[in-house]
Amino acid sequence: MTDITTSDVIAIGSLVVATATGLSAITLWYANNEKRKYGLERDFGHLKRSYEQIQDSLNLILKEIDYRFDTSERDILEIKSILGIKK
């Protein structure tokens, strides 16, 4: 049988430490990658909701402008009819 020497113990210990360090590095990398992915999805969701709010606001503004043009058109038509102006 072979005797285990001090250098063998140091080599095995170094292997265990290197393996543990590598596994912890992989775990941290994966965790940071998942956090980054979650953050990007969250940012995209915020941008999407902001875009929808802007679209809703633009639709309201366009409806208001349309209503005001219709009102102005009716008022001008009424003024023309009162003054007897034809097209």
Q: Say how far apart CA 61 and CA 2 lie, in whole Å.
A: 88
pTM, full prediction: 0.57
Gyration radius of the chain's alpha carbons: 37
Taking only the tens place, the pLDDT of each residue in 24-67 is 999 999 999 999 999 999 999 999 999 999 999 999 999 999 99
Angle at 14 between CA 6 and CA 2, to 5 degrees: 35
pLDDT digits (tens, 9 = 90+) for 8-33: 999 999 999 999 999 999 999 999 99
